[in-house]
Chain A
Amino acid sequence: MAEISALPSSLPFRLWVRLPGWARSVLKNKKSLVGILILVFFFAVAMLASALAPVDPQRMVGRPHDPPSQKYVLGTTRQGQDVFSQMVHGTGTTLRVGFVTGTIVMIIAIAVGLTAGFVGGFVDESLSLITNIVLVIPGLPLILVIASLIDNPGPDTIIFVLCLTGWAYGARVLRSQTLALRHAEFVEAARVSGEPLWRIIAFEILPNMTSLVVSSWIGAVLYAILAEAGLSFIGLGNPNNITWGTILYWAQNNQALLTGAWWTFIPPGIAISLVGLALILINYGIDEITNPRLSSS
């Protein structure tokens, strides 16, 4: 706050006051600000990929397992490909799988959770049963069994498989929140005034749990990024698509651990961890904004 009030009529200040209130509180929170900055960085890398790394990530450009040097900042793989270029070009695919999956998962979760919580009765019983079953059946083994039946699944197939199992947690959280809101006075008022069901759900209930939806969405994106990395690492993604997960897969398959080629598996691992960290930081920031009691300061 202090540094902002110091420049009252500057451009940043004018932009700042134009922001909606929620955006201002998210950016004011230290944790979510750091998280957003990390994400912005990776999105920028993904968009500027071909400018940042003009070297074809698939081409053999150097000797196998060359350690980092001035020419190849992150060294080369066993196949002599440029690791830096692979990292840069893999960013887009990794982020796309994460965010597309997270969004689809969240749409399913909202549809199921809000319908179950609001309609109640038999609809709720059956939707909750399905949700709880999907929740209790271990996800990763199921995903593995499905993915292994598809020949060379690309990123889109992985998105599809992850969506099948990923929606249940969000649906359960949103359902219980809907139950809490269901008999609130403004909802009753909308019902009495004859608003249709979908309108009550979309315009009365949903706006009142935005922070929950956003934090579940971020959780879903994190789940998707970690799961994609895991699937690709096992070799169930198409190993010829470049994602951070497949770089790890090739590192493991090419005995990078044994030969000490740390530059082939540390960068993708750190990148995945950084994105995960960013998402978690944003979530904690939102948590602190909406529930000040949790704040450690």
Chain B
Amino acid sequence: MTRAIAKPAANKPSDDPTFFTKALDSVYAIVNSRFLRRRFVFYLVAAFAAITLNFLIPRLMPGDPVQLLFARFQGRLDPRAFEAIKAQFGFVEGPLLEQYLLYLRSIVTLDFGPSIMGFPIPVTQVIFNSLRWTLMLMGIASVMSYVIGTLLGVIAAWRRGNRIDTTLLPIASVLGAFPYFFIALLAVYVLGFQYDIFPTSHAYDTGISQDWSSPEYLWSVVYHMLLPLITIVITSLGGPLLGMRNNMIGVLSQDYIVMAEAKGLTERRIMLLYAARNAVLPSLTAFAMSFGFLVGGSILVEIVFSYPGMGYTLLLAINARDYPVMQGVFLMITAVVLLANFLVDVSYVLLDPRAR
């Protein structure tokens, strides 16, 4: 009797007890994982190392760092603003430790002072303006290249030695050897300038108002993103493809694959649920690493497309010798990469019970 009453309730996913316990289980696993706690501490140490490097690099350079960095601005800037910028970065008279503490305070409070190239716009605002473009472009690009590359890797390994495999492999290898920005240059030249199919710069049509709710603006954002997106995805496909192919080949010789074949399961089921599912875990860490490379490499792509993300901002800052912005962009890119790595670790714990 009780079962008959309970059954319809259990069919509704909203209060499905198993779904709920599963979700709770996952949260519990994340909070309680020793692996994740260790990774978290590691990322904190890495962030600290990046912050300290950022502090040390200009001071380790030969010559007087203050002069090297700021001599160019004397006369161009209000002396008081100049002093404020120097103080922000701990370039004050006094022992190194005091400079360091001052610098740490400006990092913790996210107060990087005014930028030089866009004075008096604060550095933080310059960074956050460009951050969303990079996040959008690189987020979509890295997920797309990972998913497409992995799927192609699965197929290549499954059909090893077949036509698909023997064409995919050299293509993937060639793509890995191409310098990123050269493909981008070619794309801009052919599709942008010669055939005028795609816009050649900027992230949206500057002629229309920046309104995220208007379809016209949204379309112009998508339209401007397409070409950089395609070039990034194409040039970064090779890594996940080859990685997944190698993992798959290792998995395919396992006994449980033979067992699945012996049971007469469909080919697709064996390929995706038996082989690919077990082969994908190692390549997940590769994804985290390639995200770092992508965000780093995106600098060049953004420069070619004049796409107003972090990389383009970094170039502008370098050309203007705007050290505050350069430091800020470097720290922000590091923060994004560390965070992405941590998120991948979390998903690893969720997917692989052994990591708990």
A257–B189 touching, CB < 8 Å: yes
Q: Which single residue of chain B is at the shortest CB-CB distance from A274?
A: B177
Residues of chain B at the chain A interface (Cβ within 8 Å): 42-43, 45-46, 49-50, 53-54, 57-58, 61, 68-69, 160-161, 165-166, 169, 173-174, 176-182, 185-186, 188-189, 192-194, 200, 246, 249, 253, 289, 292-293, 295-297, 299-300, 303-304, 314-315, 318-319, 321, 326-327, 329-330, 333-334, 337-338, 341
- Closest Cβ of chain A to B56, distance in Å, is 11
**A136-B46, A145-B327, A230-B181 as given contacts; A297 in contact with B161, CB under 8 Å:** yes
Q: Which of A138, A257, A265 contacts B334 (CB 8 A)?
A: A138
Q: Please measure, in the bound complex, the distance between the C-alpha atom of A129 and the C-alpha atom of B68, giving whole angstroms.
A: 32
**A141-B329, A230-B181, A280-B176 as given contacts; A136 in contact with B341, CB under 8 Å:** yes
Q: Which single residue of chain A is at the shortest CB-CB distance from B252?
A: A293
Residues of chain A at the chain B interface (Cβ within 8 Å): 129, 132-133, 135-142, 144-146, 148-150, 222, 226, 229-230, 233-236, 248, 252, 257-258, 260, 262, 265-266, 269, 272-273, 276-277, 279-281, 284, 293-294, 296-297
**A269-B179, A276-B178, A280-B177 as given contacts; A234 in contact with B315, CB under 8 Å:** yes
29 chain-A/chain-B pairs, Cβ below 8 angstroms? A133-B46, A137-B46, A138-B293, A138-B334, A139-B296, A140-B297, A141-B296, A141-B314, A141-B329, A144-B299, A144-B318, A145-B57, A145-B327, A148-B321, A149-B68, A150-B61, A226-B179, A230-B300, A234-B303, A248-B182, A257-B185, A260-B193, A272-B179, A273-B179, A273-B182, A276-B178, A277-B173, A280-B174, A294-B249
Q: Please measure, in the bound complex, the distance between the C-alpha atom of A137 and the C-alpha atom of B177, giving whole angstroms.
A: 23
Residues of chain A within 8 A of B174, CB atoms compared: 273, 277, 280
- Closest Cβ of chain B to A58, distance in Å, is 23
B45–A230 touching, CB < 8 Å: no
Q: Which of B178, B193, B292 contacts A257 (CB 8 A)?
A: B193
Q: Which single residue of chain A is at the shortest CB-CB distance from B176?
A: A280
B182–A269 touching, CB < 8 Å: yes
Interface of chain A: mostly helix, strand, loop or mixed = helix
Residues of chain A within 8 A of B246, CB atoms compared: 294
Q: Please measure, in the bound complex, the distance between the C-alpha atom of A297 and the C-alpha atom of B163, giving whole angstroms.
A: 11
Q: Which of A133, A222, A233, A294 contacts B181 (CB 8 A)?
A: A233
A133–B49 touching, CB < 8 Å: yes
B185–A269 touching, CB < 8 Å: yes
Residues of chain B within 8 A of A139, CB atoms compared: 293, 296
**A144-B299, A257-B193 as given contacts; A133 in contact with B45, CB under 8 Å:** yes
A296–B169 touching, CB < 8 Å: yes
20 additional A-B pairs beyond A144-B299, A260-B193, A269-B182, beta carbons within 8 Å, are: A137-B53, A138-B295, A141-B296, A141-B314, A141-B333, A141-B334, A142-B53, A142-B330, A145-B326, A145-B327, A145-B330, A226-B180, A229-B181, A234-B315, A257-B193, A273-B177, A276-B177, A277-B177, A279-B177, A281-B173
